[in-house]
Amino acid sequence: MTVPDSRPVRPVAEPVENPSLSLRALNAIAHVYAKAVSENPVVQKVSPARPQRFAGYEFPVRVEAVVDEADGVKSLTLARTDGKRMPGWLPGAHIDVTLPSGRRRQYSLAGKPPVEDRYRIAVRRIDDGLVSPEIHALSEGAELTVRGPRNAFPMAAEEHYLFVAAGIGITPILGMIQAAAAARADWTLYYHGRTRDSMPFLAELEALAAGTDNTVIVASDDLDGVPHIDSVLRLAREDSALYVCGPIGLSLALRDRIPAVAPGVKFHTELFSPAPVVDGKPFAIRLSTTDEVVQVGATETALDAVRRARPDQAFSCRQGFCGACIVGMRSGAPVHRDRALRPDEQGTAFALCVSRADADSELVLDI
Ligand code: FES
């Protein structure tokens, strides 16, 4: 979902140059343990690694308010029910929401809601979808579980922002605009939707721009046609940071025209759908529980291939950051493309949604 230049950097531990006696002792114990247990093929056979990632907090919430924000879009204000405060978050953050059916989806936090210590998400109804109709059927008092927040779309401090949002992509951008306004940074928003009536938060955005030199430009398919990429980029200044949230085609079109139209602009994006597989080569996955072999084609993900054999294989973001699809790995030559695994986990675990393997090789996974 996020292109590499907006990738958050994981802090790396500094090497210890003069380890103390106790550190050396711990190191020796860890070495013996690794030889006796972690690297012991018998132990691995009996008790294979099954990494499970639980990032952030999980806590119960109640739907405190449901608001019709636009045609087909509702916002939900969520209040914690265990008496604790909501974890803090920064613009661009999202949460996992588990619904009464057990289905789980990720939603960007839709700016700061009017009520303190609450989260707000906004959901567009997809009529033939599995989850958005369930969310739209929720009423005040419904109980949900939230995990997070996490941030795969962090916002840096800049002098000027050009925000581009399409449709429900306004949700993370709204929080960024609130933050830019609070920091008295300059900003311009280009906001595109199908129709004006389908675009949530227009009044809040106009209120944020009121009385300032900042601008909200609203355009829609029915009145203005599709976005004109070069015209949108010409809204940038030389020192602008461009933050985009919307369909992958819009994000990539903007990114590709930056060198010609707005060189120097810093590009950050969050996509709604997985990016297509790039430079994929075919490889095979052996499922260790049955010895079944699944072929992964050059243009499909390992997750898609595994789900042909294991339709219940867990996943969530499909973009390599949430950790939901991580499975244990026994052998093979993986090409890790995720941002969920730490370097010390990469030898024994694999993120199915984005990672791959050397061409024509075989990975053995704990599935
Ligand atoms: S589904 Fe989120 S990391 Fe793979």
175, 202 Cβ separation under 8 angstroms:
no
Q: Does 100 map to a domain?
A: yes
Give the pLDDT score at 29. Answer: 41
Q: Is 6 part of any domain?
A: no
Domain boundary among 151, 170, 189: 151
167 lies in the same domain as 250? yes
Alpha helices in the chain (DSSP H): 21-33, 41-46, 132-136, 170-182, 202-209, 221-224, 229-233, 248-261, 302-309
Residue 38 lies in a domain: no
Give DSSP secondary structure letters for 16-58.
PSS--HHHHHHHHHHHHHIIIIIT-HHHHHHS--------SEE
Domain check: are 139 and 206 in the same one?
A: no
- Using a pLDDT cut of 90, give the percent of the chain over it: 66
81 shares its domain with 181: no
Average pLDDT over residues 123-149: 93
**Is the Cα dihedral 6, 242, 56, 76 positive or negative?**
negative
CA of 211 to the centre of ligand 1 (A): 42
Say whether both 252 and 174 belong to one domain.
Answer: yes
Kindly state if the Cβ of 338 falls inside 6 Å of ligand 1.
Answer: yes
Question: What's the pLDDT at 317?
Answer: 74
* Confidence class for position 15, pLDDT limits 50, 70, 90: very low
The answer to whether position 15 is within a domain reads no
Cα separation, 61 vs 77, whole angstroms: 10
What is the average pLDDT value for the chain, to the nearest integer?
A: 84
Q: Does pTM surpass 0.85? A: no
pLDDT at 247: 87
Of the listed ranges 40-49, 200-209, 286-295, 337-346, the least confidently predicted one is: 40-49
Query: Looking at per-residue confidence, does 213 or 129 come out higher?
Result: 213
pLDDT of 255 reads 92
Instruction: Domain count for the chain, please give it.
Output: 3
For 31-62, what is each residue's pLDDT tens digit?
A: 444 444 433 444 444 444 444 444 447 999 99
CA-proximal residue: ligand 1, atom 3 (nearest) = 320
Q: Do 290 and 244 have their domain in common?
A: no
Ligand 1 centroid vs 10 CA: distance in angstroms? Answer: 17
The C-alpha atoms of residue 253 and residue 219 are separated, in whole angstroms, by 17
Pair (165, 79) in one structural domain: no
Position 50 in a domain: no
Same structural domain, 72 and 120: yes
350 lines ligand 1 (CB under 6 A): no
What gap in Å lies between CA 45 and CA 29, rounded to an integer? 23
Q: Is 323 in the pocket of ligand 1 (CB under 6 A)?
A: yes
Q: Which two tokens stand for residue 93?
A: 């953050």
User: Which strands sit side by side in the sheet containing 362-365, from one edge to the other?
Assistant: 292-296, 283-287, 362-365, 326-331, 349-351
Give the number of the atom of ligand 1 that is nearest the alpha carbon of residue 317. 2
Please indicate, yes or no, if residue 51 is contained in any of the structural domains.
no
Domain that holds residue 293: 277-365
Pocket test for ligand 1, best of 53, 318, 327 (most atoms within 8 A of CB): 318
pLDDT of residue 129: 81
Q: Which of 215, 238, 271 is the last residue of a domain?
A: 271
Question: Which band of pLDDT confidence, cut at 50, 70 and 90, is reported for residue 130?
Answer: confident
Please give the pLDDT value at position 180.
96
Higher pLDDT, 4 or 21: 21
CATH code where residue 123 lies: 2.40.30.10
**What pLDDT is stored for residue 273 in this prediction?**
64
